[in-house]
Amino acid sequence: MEPVTLETPRLTLRAFRESDIEAVALACDDPDIQRFVPVPEPYTLRDAEEFVTVTSPAGWRDDTMYNFGVFTHGGDLVGAMGLGRLALNSPERHAELGFWTARDRRRRGCTAEAGRAVADWAFSALGVERLEWVAQVENAGSRAVARSIGFVEEGIQRARIVHRGTRRDALVAALLPSDLDHPSGTPYLPSPRLPSNPEPPRSSTTK
């Protein structure tokens, strides 16, 4: 796919350019990002160059990951927003939303604003029918953004994430097209909710 550009009231989401390398390097050389995001530690200018000029373009070209740089309309870097784990040519039609935010741009609602724009694009242009968010349980900032976008938490998966050589529990949430008033190409039949403490099945053995 050719990279696309999305606009929101405060932000421009576009493919990264070589002119962004220095800003990306500065943003990702941050312990808070490195604590939860699988970026090199320490993060160098060469790492940023690889991400901007090789990894991100390859994702668009090969339809494996669609990375957006998130910028103010004035051109300042806010963060990165990407769709990964793409399964767009199968009945599952799902993707996973991931993001990081530069330290000086946090707690302003910008990342949630960008996330809603990417979710709308995923549902309307790509035909995504289930958008997932997965993060370490301790990642309170990412969780707050996901909730603000509208993701519904579904539970904790043990040892889901491998980060810095250690398996970590992950909180999983999902966003469906109907959550943002988009139609879905496949009918959805929700299952009856189980009681919180279901009784164990009774044995058929009699004495």
| pLDDT tens for each residue of 100-146 | 999 999 999 999 999 999 999 999 999 999 999 999 999 999 999 99
Reported confidence tier of residue 193, pLDDT bands at 50, 70, 90? confident
Tokens representing residue 60 in the block: 């668009």
Alpha helices in the chain (DSSP H): 21-28, 31-36, 45-50, 56-62, 110-125, 140-149
Contact between 172 and 155 under an 8 Å Cβ cutoff? The reply is yes
Write down how long the chain is: 207
In terms of DSSP bridges, do strands 6-7 and 94-101 run parallel, antiparallel, or are they unpaired?
Answer: unpaired
Q: Which residues contact 10 (CB under 8 A, 6 or more apart)?
A: 72, 73, 110, 113
Burial class (CB in 10 A: 0-12, 13-18, 19+), 11: buried
Tokens representing residue 11 in the block: 């932000």
Summary mean pLDDT of the chain: 94
Using alpha carbons only, what angle is made at residue 114 by residues 94 and 61, rounded to the nearest 5 degrees? 55
Q: What is the pLDDT of residue 207?
A: 43
| pLDDT tens for each residue of 66-102 | 999 999 999 999 999 999 999 999 999 999 999 999 9
Of 122, 119, 184, 123, which Cα lies nearest the Cα of 145? 119
pLDDT exceeds 70 at position 201: no
